[in-house]
Each structure stands twice: as C-alpha cells, then as structure tokens.
Amino acid sequence: MTVRLACPSDAEAIARLESLCFSDARGRDAVNEQLALPYALTLVAIEDEHAVGYLTGIVLAPECEIHRVATDPAYRRRGIGAALVAEARSQ
C-alpha cells in the first residue's frame, strides 16, 4: 500500500469511498472543490491500483486539522487509516 497526495483524477474514487463510509457522503464535485483549495490536504491510500482509503484536512501551519478519514470496508483492520494519519502528520 502507498499513501500519496490526491489529485483530481482521484475524485471519483474518493467520492465512492465517501458513499461507502458516510451517510452524508460528498459527491465528486465537492471532492474536486476540496482538492482545489490551496490550504487543503487530501491524501489517498492505494493498494492493488485501487483507492482503498483517504484523508482530508486543512493545513494551518504548523498544524493540520483532520476532517475525514475513511477506509473501504473490505480493507479495514489493515493499518490504512493509521498510515494516512501518519502521512498527514509528516506534511
């Protein structure tokens, strides 16, 4: 598994994860808006060439406020959320 900064091409996969994990899921357009914010942090976890988790937050140096962390239910209990948070802490 790798964790990297999300890009616009990840918006659809992040929106899919939103719908799997949250009753108030945001759609692709809202995810794209988040990705365009200069102070936003969006990370995505990739395994087997698929997005299996993501984290969103706001960076207000020297701090990062985490808003959402989500992991595909089929990939839970594998440390993906912890890896996303660890990467956010290093940003």
pLDDT tens for 29-38 read 999 999 999 9
Checking if the pLDDT of 18 tops 90, the result is: yes
Q: What percent of the chain is modeled with pLDDT above 90?
A: 89
Single-letter code of the amino acid located at 11: A
Sign of the alpha-carbon dihedral angle for 23, 26, 27, 28: negative
Alpha carbon of 37 to those of 10, 23, 45, 49, 79: distances in Å? 15, 24, 20, 26, 28
Query: Three-state DSSP class for 34?
Result: helix
Helix (H) or strand (E) holding 43: strand 40-47
Sign of the alpha-carbon dihedral angle for 14, 4, 85, 74: positive
Q: What pLDDT score does 40 carry?
A: 94
Single-letter code of the amino acid located at 42: T
pLDDT tens for 51-70 read 999 999 999 888 889 999 99
Q: Name the pTM for this structure.
A: 0.93
> pLDDT-derived band of residue 15, with 50, 70 and 90 as boundaries?
very high
Q: What pLDDT score does 30 carry?
A: 94
